[in-house]
Structure 1
Amino acid sequence: MPGAKSPPAGVRTGVRVVVAGERYTGKSSLIAAAASESFPESVPHVLPPTRLPADFFPDRVPITIIDTSGLEIKGRLIEELKRADAVVLTYACDQPQTLGRLCSFWLEELRRLQVKAPVVVVGCKLDLRDENEPVSLEHLMGPIMQRYREIETCIECSAVTLMQVPDAFYFAQRAVLHPTTPLFDQESQSLRPRCVRALRRIFILCDRDMDGTLNDEELNEFQVKCFNAPLQPEELIGVRRVVQEKKKDGVNDLGLTFEGFLYLHSLFIEKSRPETTWTVLRKFGYNDDLKLRDDFLPVPVKRAPDQSIELAPEAVDFLRRMFQLLDVDNHGALHSAELDELFSTAPENPLSQDPFKNAAERTSQGHLTLKGFLSEWALMTLLNPKDSLANLLYLGYGGNPSSAFRVTRKRTVDRKKQQTERNVFRCLVLGPDNSGKSALLNSFLGRSFLSNYDLTSGERYAANTIDQLGGTKKTLILQEIPEDGVKQFFSSKESLAACDVAIFVHDGSDELSWKKSTELLVEVTRQGEESGFGIPCLLVAAKDDLDPYHMAVQDSVKVCQELGVQAPIRVSMKLGEVNNLFHRILIAAECPHLNIPETQTGKRRKNFRKLINHSLLFMSVGAAVAFVGVAAFRAYAARKNTSS
């Protein structure tokens, strides 16, 4: 696996390099010599932006070089440093104090300014160093690079002799296009975990016979895909020999093992050839963050606000098979180690992170059931289909990526047809604090009632499947909105478009809780009428085990009649009496034309529109009748004239 020249990296169209350092260290001469490939007799104090064309270096990405004055860091220099893709810091080889200032001032200032660009340290004026005082660059810069990990590399050059002048900018470009830091940990001298995970996926994809090794044929296919050239027989022997000398378990009788594959990449990086590993990663779709690039994720982006995305049946079947493959003890659940193994080819385990890690059904031991696994994936697809598709591909999904999803029909169309084809429904759970929303979500996931109340901070999700008559299954996703988050959630006019149903929870024993809940209902009703995305709404009277607030019962009848919704559903999570609540929520979501509340203003507006439509229809019919009458009269007149 030789380090052939890499193709253009990613989608970058240019690299911006800022050259900084003490005055009179040779910054401008370095830039001029690199651009003209000759030593300049005289250069301005500060050069204008200088461009090295795309064909200057093998990666064929142009470089724009920004010269600076070397005075104190302020104003324009700060702006340039923050815009830089890479920073070249210079010192003069014949002036040791300039190297001291590099450490005591320049590198510290870059940290203070939080400049994240990689740094290349360049010693200029090498031709002026006293030959009687030889200096080892490794000995000189080793301690500095240990302290400042942002330094990618260090070189020394001479603009007079042109020695290593282009290399200063080649290394700067390479640090941007092929950065070492995401791949390799210099302290431990090992590949970083995310790099190992990406290479594991690539290895598995190339191991077509799935025997845990890359044989000569598979290795050559990999070589041609990444570097456009096969390995000669003697090169294959050489690769195996190099690996076997340092990594005995890196090669076996069948071919190159995963350990050997990793060793080769470590070797390239240690020999300052990270471009080889980056070429491999980019050929398989990875970006600089070691995640799949957007062009590898054909997720439907053109959809109406009231359309959602669901996993297609073949993608669900794939996930079910992967779950069963990892469930070696056939207990119907995966523990954390098995989940980590499942996602060993992904950048991280998404199901161990918010909002998924606590959003689905688990066993009493905390293991994730198949229902919970598929429900969390449905939630991921609903919230971020791009991440969902990426994780499918990380797991080895071999189907057509563009067919992994289905876009649902517009909910406004569902309402007209009075039915829906959706399999995943999103339910807003609204209500004042301490009304029982969190207990409701816990009950939905089969969790025990907790008497201690912890105020929910931020949005929380609960996803589960519900069995229906006929054996069909639907996924219901409850989204709890805390009281202090309601205003922000409804700041967009299209906030209701992505939802299928809403429930309004209140403490049945608390007057203030009931009033706040009805205020929320009225607000959502108005928003739905104004935006055209009204949704079915249900009232839920929680804590039915407590003495009820009697006026709430009377008021609820009046409110429900005025708005045209069902009477509140009384539940007690403490007693486990849910009154078939979750099935009733699902039924409401599946009937998008029912239980949509209307204010009096909304009803008048609706009746007015009907009246206008009827009037227009009457006028259209009248005009059509008149037109037919005129046409008939003209035909009659024409026949009469002809006969006479």
Structure 2
Amino acid sequence: MAGGGSTAKSNSTTSVRIVVAGDHGTGKSSLIITAAAEAFPANVPPVLPPTRLPEDMFPDRVPVTVIDTSSSLENRGKLADELKRADAVVLTYACDQPSTLERLSTFWLPELRRLEVKVPVIVAGCKLDLRDEQQAVSLEQVMSPIMQQFREIETCIECSAYKHIQIPEVFYYAQKAVLHPTAPLFDQEAQTLKPRCVRALKRIFILCDHDRDGALSDAELNDFQVKCFNAPLQPSEIVGVKRVVQEKLPEGVHENGLTLTGFLFLHALFIEKGRLETTWTVLRKFGYNNDIRLDDDQLLPPIKRTPDQSVELTSEAVEFLRGVFSLFDIDGDGALNAHELEDVFSTAPESPWTEAPYASAAEKNALGGLSLDGFLAEWALMTLLDPVLSVENLIYIGYAGDPSSAVRVTRRRRVDRKKQHSDRNVFQCFVFGPKEAGKSSLLHSFVGRQFSEVYTPTIEERYTVNIVDQPGGTKKTLILREIPEDSIGKFLIHKDALATCDIAVFVHDSSNESSWIRATELLVQVASHGESTGYEVPCLIVAAKDDLDPYPTAIQDSTRVSQDMGIEAPIPISAKLGDFNNIFRRIVRAAEHPHLSIPETEAGKTRKQYHRLLNRSLMVVSVGAAVAIVGLAAYRVYATRKNASSS
């Protein structure tokens, strides 16, 4: 933890492009030539070509290319292009011309914001040798108000190309700001480590705490030092590190070694002293990039699959998650409260379940706790919707296996239909229906929420997920995805719209004839889409609001439609009375047998009849052709024999 010289660089940064900009005559070109040639130029061209600085000029040994720019109006377009391609910007002003300093805050820094150039900025006061010392004020006094206004300024430095004062340092700070940026790690205003940095360092601490006693022993500290900096710590250095922590923060060290609090304190100390490379070296050794997320090579590679294949967690990953749940259920009440759930993800960049579609997707108890089933169901939903994100978070919370061992790609749905059975553990059900039919009530009831008489229209798609106990003791995860009526037309524009659907449910208000008519129209629309794209899906009709009187011809209408389309009769439910007629088990059962409950439209029947007639006529032709061939063969045999006997 002594830090030392860093040889680490961003996993993705192989070179640094620094653009130098500023008013005419502020010393841009002289600054660049003097840094590259280590000599003040006698003649300076108006604008230099791209200049490569020596690779061994800085300890990181990352190539640096410096781009000179013209501030003239006719070159404004080229300047904007160069600034947009910069990794860092050096803005120059002349120490002997106060107006050029003012121009930083009145033109140059606002211009960078206008162009949306979001890179570190180094402010360089050139021509230090020409400054009038009688009017001198400290750099801090001059720059402090500007830096308060423009947080993108990383460093301010004064230099002189003529006198060779702090020339390499200008580009060292610019390169350092790219390779070891402050912004992701440290909140300058609050003077604290940023949350994402704390979370990453906590994960690293846990990975290094091999005996899981909540502290890094001398041996563990030494292993950490060797891994990150390729050099062991001397016993006296370990004592020194712990003494520094203990003097400032007594709880940072206890009898077993350096605590997490002490570990974080040390990193904050390094950063405050400008030694960001130490913390960045640690982060990069553990696979983090500049966004303080794990690099792609640490994660699940892109998954190859067809649109009608889904991704599920393997039994190995599920067992790992059961262990995580047990570990973090501190009070042992069989549920993770908000604090315990936050703790689960405290080593991830942020909790992935704080926003839609996960925030309210799973069942919670009266105190807001997430049960084991709810916890596993949320993971199943995340794995289905975004498998790479799911595996990334598994790794953040401690999954140590090969990332690809955490998930499996399911069989194609069209193969499931042919085999007349699905071996999936997670089924996705699309919920269609007209407004006020009871779709949202169905979703709410699935995760144990109380029925509400207040109607709230669904504007965007929403999900709920839960585990459904099946006969025989098996468990399946069911995901309900509500599709708002207004977006169905737009939804079905896509050829693969139904590819991810295991089963579709059509909900209507059983007391309202127009609701039934609209639900039937939607059923035909979805079934037609499935027939035309090859993504036919099993369908069930749900007659909601069974506590109300049905409209007069409800039974005849529903019987006729379900018989005509070859699917099960509508299933009556009442969310208000809590009577669900085993609807969720029935949805899962229909999804498990995907060859059944597939509706046939009139167009589909006509198409099938046409193909049947076509196949029958082809068969007649084939039989006729076969008879002709057999007859011809028989004649040849007869002719051959006849010729043989006559000779």
Query: Normalization by structure 1: what TM-score?
Result: 0.92
Q: How many Å apart are 1:311 and its aligned residue?
A: 0.9
The equivalent of 1:507 in structure 2 is 509
Is structure 2 residue 3 aligned with structure 1 residue 6?
A: no
The equivalent of 1:379 in structure 2 is 381
- Is the Cα contact below 8 Å between 1:3 and 1:273 reproduced in 2? no
Equivalence map 1:427-442=2 (5 Å): 427-442=429-444
The equivalent of 1:471 in structure 2 is 473
Q: Which moved more, 1:135-144 or 1:329-338?
A: 135-144
The equivalent of 1:96 in structure 2 is 98
Q: How many Å apart are 1:342 and its aligned residue?
A: 1.9
Is structure 2 residue 175 aligned with structure 1 residue 173?
A: yes
- Is the Cα contact below 8 Å between 2:330 and 2:340 reproduced in 1? no
Of residues 292, 295, 306, the one that matches 1:293 is 295
Q: Which moved more, 1:145-154 or 1:626-635?
A: 626-635
Amino acid at match of 1:382: L
For 1:628 and 1:557, how far apart are their aligned partners in 2?
52
Of residues 537, 562, 565, the one that matches 2:564 is 562
For 1:136 and 1:352, how far apart are their aligned partners in 2?
47
The equivalent of 1:420 in structure 2 is 422
The equivalent of 1:116 in structure 2 is 118
Q: Which moved more, 1:301-310 or 1:249-258?
A: 249-258
Amino acid at match of 2:470: Q
- Cα distance change of structure 1 residues 323 and 622 upon mapping to structure 2, 3 Å threshold: farther
Q: How many Å apart are 1:225 and its aligned residue?
A: 1.8
Cα deviations across residues 190-231 of structure 1 (Å, max 9, x unaligned)?
A: 111111111001000000011111122211221222222222
Q: SS of the residue aligned with 2:498?
A: coil
For 1:420 and 1:387, how far apart are their aligned partners in 2?
25
Q: How many Å apart are 1:128 and its aligned residue?
A: 2.0
Equivalence map 1:461-610=2 (5 Å): 461-609=463-611
- Is the Cα contact below 8 Å between 1:377 and 1:388 reproduced in 2? yes
Amino acid at match of 2:16: V
**Structure 1 residue ranges without an equivalent (≥5):** none
Cα deviations across residues 30-55 of structure 1 (Å, max 9, x unaligned)?
A: 23333344333333323344444765
- Is the Cα contact below 8 Å between 2:71 and 2:79 reproduced in 1? no
For 1:567 and 1:579, how far apart are their aligned partners in 2?
13
- Cα distance change of structure 1 residues 94 and 349 upon mapping to structure 2, 3 Å threshold: same
- Cα distance change of structure 1 residues 604 and 81 upon mapping to structure 2, 3 Å threshold: same
Is structure 2 residue 428 aligned with structure 1 residue 394?
A: no
Q: How many Å apart are 1:336 and its aligned residue?
A: 0.8
Number of aligned residues: 644
Q: How many Å apart are 1:188 and its aligned residue?
A: 1.7
The equivalent of 1:215 in structure 2 is 217
For 2:629 and 2:277, how far apart are their aligned partners in 1?
78
The equivalent of 1:350 in structure 2 is 352
Q: SS of the residue aligned with 1:550?
A: coil
- Cα distance change of structure 1 residues 159 and 428 upon mapping to structure 2, 3 Å threshold: same
- Is the Cα contact below 8 Å between 2:498 and 2:535 reproduced in 1? yes
Is structure 2 residue 72 aligned with structure 1 residue 66?
A: no
For 1:559 and 1:570, how far apart are their aligned partners in 2?
15
Is structure 2 residue 312 aligned with structure 1 residue 307?
A: no
- Cα distance change of structure 1 residues 595 and 21 upon mapping to structure 2, 3 Å threshold: same
Q: What percent of counterpart residues are identical? A: 64
Q: How many Å apart are 1:17 and its aligned residue?
A: 2.7
The equivalent of 1:31 in structure 2 is 32
- Is the Cα contact below 8 Å between 2:8 and 2:284 reproduced in 1? no
For 2:630 and 2:14, how far apart are their aligned partners in 1?
66
Cα deviations across residues 529-562 of structure 1 (Å, max 9, x unaligned)?
A: 2221111111112122223233454333333233
Q: Which moved more, 1:347-356 or 1:415-424?
A: 347-356
Q: How many Å apart are 1:80 and its aligned residue?
A: 3.5
Amino acid at match of 1:68: T
Q: How many Å apart are 1:183 and its aligned residue?
A: 0.6
- Cα distance change of structure 1 residues 67 and 491 upon mapping to structure 2, 3 Å threshold: farther
User: What is the root-mean-square deviation in Å for CA atoms of aligned residues?
Assistant: 2.9
For 1:640 and 1:35, how far apart are their aligned partners in 2?
104
For 2:329 and 2:343, how far apart are their aligned partners in 1?
11
**Structure 2 residue ranges without an equivalent (≥5):** none
Amino acid at match of 1:592: P
For 2:464 and 2:369, how far apart are their aligned partners in 1?
16
Is structure 2 residue 259 aligned with structure 1 residue 252?
A: no
- Cα distance change of structure 1 residues 35 and 452 upon mapping to structure 2, 3 Å threshold: same
Query: Normalization by structure 2: what TM-score?
Result: 0.92
- Cα distance change of structure 1 residues 157 and 511 upon mapping to structure 2, 3 Å threshold: same
- Is the Cα contact below 8 Å between 1:87 and 1:117 reproduced in 2? yes
Of residues 138, 141, 148, the one that matches 1:139 is 141
Of residues 151, 159, 167, the one that matches 2:161 is 159
